[in-house]
Chains A and B, each alone.
Chain A
Amino acid sequence: MCDSCGCGDSKIVPVEVQERVLAANDRQAAHNRAHFRERGVLTVNLMGSPGAGKTAVLESLSRHLNGSRKLGALAGDLATENDARRLQAAGIPSLAITTGSACHLDADMVHEALHELAWQDVDLLFVENVGNLVCPAVYDLGQDCNVVALAVTEGLDKPIKYPVMFKGADLVLLTKTDLLPHLSGVSLAEYEDSLKRVMPHFEAIPVCATTGQGLDRFAAWLEARRAATPRTTPAHAHHHHHAHGH
């Protein structure tokens, strides 16, 4: 090959790729999703700001369901296993995923965690994502649906400030409704208007984890979701490329 006079036999060619950058994550997510569908487990990606009340809502849901459904949880955080401990104490078998510095969970982290949690026989598996309204929206985990917790204390403009998160929400839980009397100029109707601007399919349930208000509606929503989710038979199972079988 000759570079100096241009007679070299290399050339620059355009190569169309048209592949999603997160294709590897998507494949792992599809793998997770297939596992869940085979076992009839409804998996929920629960997201929201730090302090929005994700863990509290799950604790409250567990109390409300009172054993009528088997729950499981994976709780993601940069540090501590506090959420998993609280959920465990609330009767939900839980595993912590400590991400270190990652601001979101991804399909690989969920897949790894599934090896250590007895999830196969649960009815509802909650993946409590890292508290963050930005990054978690980008990564498919293999969940059936996205539920976003938004506390009434967070501000009416949060949906339009974080459109990617809210446009991807199948359901928004408006949490801490018991604090509404203390907030001037804020109403549920205004939160709903704000959400309607960014959610193509608007669905929101006001809830209060401490009193249990709204948890019946949340439980009913989850049941309807379970009923609508196809369960695949093992014959349709995906190909395993693991060294270990499961």
Chain B
Amino acid sequence: MHEYSIVQALVTQVEEQVQRHQARAVHAVWVQIGELSGVEVSLLETAYDLFREDTVCARAPLRVETVSATWECRTCGATRASAARENPSSVARGRRRNGGSRPAPSARLGAEGPLRCDLCSGEVRLARGDEIVLARLELEVA
């Protein structure tokens, strides 16, 4: 699965940051994964555990911040979270709990009828929710 190639890119990115900051070690890696990014978080975590050995990330836990999808109306600017029932108005940002399961994005996205603005039926665009971002690192520096 492509999560392996994403982890390889991530580790390379972390190595670049280590060089840039002349860090001695990496203590944590924080990533943001949007629910509509196409990346499955549990697979990413498994791939990370496999690939981090013998790299700068060897002793750095991966912290994943999931980002819920937010659709923004191109006409009136109203925003709509895909998890409309859980978060009526705002972006939901949550840390994925180990062992917990969250509803598949498709179940929420598809269940609510045509993907248009609730207020004016205008076309929407995805404002948040497709991120695959290295957000921050905890680096040990001199």
Q: Which residues of A contact B (CB under 8 A)?
A: 9-25, 102-104, 106, 134-135, 137-139, 157, 159-165, 167, 193-194, 196-202
Contacts and interface: CB of A to CB of B under 8 A. Distances in A.
Given A137-B38, A160-B110, A198-B115, A16 B2 contact: no
A20 B132 contact: yes
A163 B110 contact: yes
B92 interface: no
| Consensus secondary structure, chain B interface | mixed
Interface in B1-46: 1-2, 5-6, 9-10, 12-13, 17, 21, 24, 27, 31, 36-39
Given A138-B39, A164-B36, A17 B115 contact: no
A19 B50 CA distance: 23
Nearest to A160: B110
A212 to B, nearest CB: 31
A198 B116 CA distance: 10
A194 B132 CA distance: 27
Given A103-B2, A160-B109, A200-B125, A138 B37 contact: yes
Interface string B102-142: 00011101111111000000011110001111111111111
A102 B130 CA distance: 22
Interface of B: 1-2, 5-6, 9-10, 12-13, 17, 21, 24, 27, 31, 36-39, 71, 105-107, 109-115, 123-126, 130-142
B43 to A, nearest CB: 11
B132 A198 contact: no
Contact of B36 (A25, A167, A199): A167
Contacts of A200: 71, 115, 123-126
A13 B141 CA distance: 7
A163 B129 CA distance: 12
B21 to A, nearest CB: 6
A19 B39 contact: no
Contacts of A164: 36-38, 130
Nearest to B36: A164
Contacts of A19: 13, 133-134
B48 to A, nearest CB: 11
A23 B112 CA distance: 33
